[in-house]
């Protein structure tokens, strides 16, 4: 499982201009079963995207297509988590 932090960068002020494209990127990731959870970093620090068990290269490639990343609105940090135990509904995340 991967947690991707999208922390606002120097072009943060451009976020409204690219928000629709960013939301479409999220929707496509969810529709394609790549992304299973998104959320905001508070207070107003950026966002978080959770990916399931994929090869890291796939996560990196998909993240690079985010308009916010391409426009330097956010900087990314990809964190890999080896999931050992979960509730039944999240067993698909176990390594």
pLDDT in tens, 18-73: 999 999 999 999 999 999 999 999 999 999 999 998 999 999 999 999 999 999 99
C-alpha pair distances (Å), 91 with each of 27, 84, 95: 23, 9, 9
Rounded to the nearest 10 degrees, how much is the dihedral formed by the CA atoms of 42, 26, 31, 55?
-90
Alpha helices in 1-93 (DSSP H): 15-31, 56-64, 67-70
Q: What are the two backbone dihedrals, phi and then psi, of residue 80, each rounded to the nearest 5 degrees?
A: -95, 135
Predicted local distance difference test score (pLDDT) of residue 90: 87
Q: Among candidates 56, 61, 52, which has minimal Cα distance to 34?
A: 52
Mean pLDDT of 9-22: 97
What's the pLDDT tens digit per position in 77-93? Answer: 999 999 999 999 888 88
Predicted local distance difference test score (pLDDT) of residue 2: 96
Predicted local distance difference test score (pLDDT) of residue 10: 93
Q: Give the single-character DSSP code of 83.
A: B
Report whether 9 contacts 46 (CB < 8 A). no
Domains observed in the chain: 2-93 (3.30.70.1060)
Q: Among candidates 1, 18, 24, 13, which has minimal Cα distance to 68?
A: 18
Q: Does the predicted model carry a pTM greater than 0.75? A: yes
Predicted local distance difference test score (pLDDT) of residue 23: 98
């Amino acid at each position: 499982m991967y947690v991707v932090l999208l922390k606002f960068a120097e072009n943060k002020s451009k976020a409204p201009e690219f928000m629709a494209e960013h939301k479409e990127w999220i929707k496509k990731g969810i529709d394609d079963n790549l992304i299973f959870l998104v959320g905001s970093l508070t207070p107003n620090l950026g966002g978080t995207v959770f990916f399931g068990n994929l090869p890291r290269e796939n996560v990196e490639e998909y993240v690079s297509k985010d308009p916010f990343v391409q426009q330097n609105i956010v900087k990314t940090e990809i964190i890999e988590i080896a999931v050992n135990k979960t509730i039944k509904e999240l067993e698909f995340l176990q390594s």
